[in-house]
């Protein structure tokens, strides 16, 4: 069966405050009760690039201690090689199933050779048996993970390249990756594309909106009589979130849905109460 992962939001005490580690456990336990398969902390929705290395380690440790029966894939990609190695090695050694590694995102127009060399250096620094999930999210990183990069990594580190999260928004590219790389687990990062990705043979999906709407994504995963309706709702929710910004929208809705309240971290901005009320009204209107 396809796997449903939550791109876990990181709670903060304030826009300039530390991660609110105590708020992670109740959220994770609620998600497990909703039937998700795993969590992915410290990714885009988790504001990973806004975390220091020590903060990232603390969030990963907290998720592992609160995981229950959930799988954990930790986001460990940083803007530089030494911190990416340190974060990835730490996560692997602490017991995550895999580490999801974003490309180094400051320098643009990277060559395939440059990006391949970067990922090879990460792999070479890890213990035997480590698993890496490549993170393709060019709308944000502006650095695509091409088939040339994947081919090179599979040639040098076939046992370490476990999978890829495709958040590029192109269902055809996801389908190409699934067909071309049967040894890899390909996850879609686009909730509107979940049904299509499953039909094409994806290993599952990793979604931001699953933080607060896991039941809809679970219905799609399970493929029952409610799957088509759930997919339509996931598309509508995603479109609404685009207007507000996904991270800000998730954190505005969580306390209104009896989940732990938290702040975004600067430079992301928390929504006003008026905006949050309007957002909730838009979501509630989908029920009618």
What confidence tens digit (pLDDT) does each residue in 167-218 have?
Answer: 999 999 999 999 999 999 999 999 999 999 999 999 999 999 999 999 999 9
Active site residue 165: yes
Q: What pLDDT is stored for residue 288 in this prediction?
A: 54
For β-strands 204-207 and 98-101, DSSP reports them as unpaired
The answer to whether 135 is a known catalytic residue is yes
Q: Which of 131, 165, 185, 251 is catalytic?
A: 165
pLDDT for the residue 286: 85
| E strand residue ranges, 127-283 | 132-136, 161-166, 185-188, 204-207
Among candidate residues 90, 135, 162, 187, the one labeled active-site is 135
Confidence grade of residue 142 (pLDDT, cut at 50, 70, 90): very high
Cβ count within 10 A of residue 106: 10
Do residues 259 and 26 touch, judged by C-beta distance below 8 A? yes
């Amino acid at each position: 069966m396809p796997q449903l992962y939550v791109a876990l939001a990181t709670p903060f005490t304030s826009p300039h405050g530390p991660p609110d580690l105590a708020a992670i456990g109740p959220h994770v336990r609620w998600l497990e009760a909703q039937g998700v398969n795993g969590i992915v902390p410290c990714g885009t929705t988790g504001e990973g690039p806004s975390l220091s290395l020590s903060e990232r380690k603390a969030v990963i440790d907290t998720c592992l201690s609160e995981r229950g029966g959930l799988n954990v894939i930790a986001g460990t990609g940083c803007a530089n090689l030494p911190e990416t190695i340190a974060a990835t090695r730490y996560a692997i050694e602490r017991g995550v199933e895999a580490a999801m590694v974003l490309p180094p995102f400051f320098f643009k127009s990277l060559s395939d050779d440059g990006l391949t060399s970067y990922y090879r250096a990460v792999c070479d620094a890890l213990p035997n048996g480590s698993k890496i999930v490549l993170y393709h999210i060019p709308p944000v990183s502006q650095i695509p993970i091409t088939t040339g990069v994947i081919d090179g990594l599979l040639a040098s580190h076939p046992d370490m390249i476990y999978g890829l999260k495709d958040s590029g928004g192109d269902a055809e590219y996801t389908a190409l990756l699934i067909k071309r790389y049967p040894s890899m687990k390909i996850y879609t990062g686009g909730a509107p594309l979940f049904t299509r990705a499953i039909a094409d043979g994806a290993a599952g999906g990793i979604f931001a909106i699953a933080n607060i709407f896991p039941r809809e994504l679970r219905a799609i995963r399970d493929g029952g009589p409610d799957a088509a309706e759930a997919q339509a709702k996931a598309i509508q929710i995603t479109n609404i979130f685009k207007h507000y910004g996904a991270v800000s929208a998730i954190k505005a809705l969580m306390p209104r849905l009896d989940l732990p309240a938290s702040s975004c971290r600067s430079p992301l901005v928390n929504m006003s109460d008026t905006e949050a009320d309007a957002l909730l009204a838009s979501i509630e209107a989908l029920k009618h």
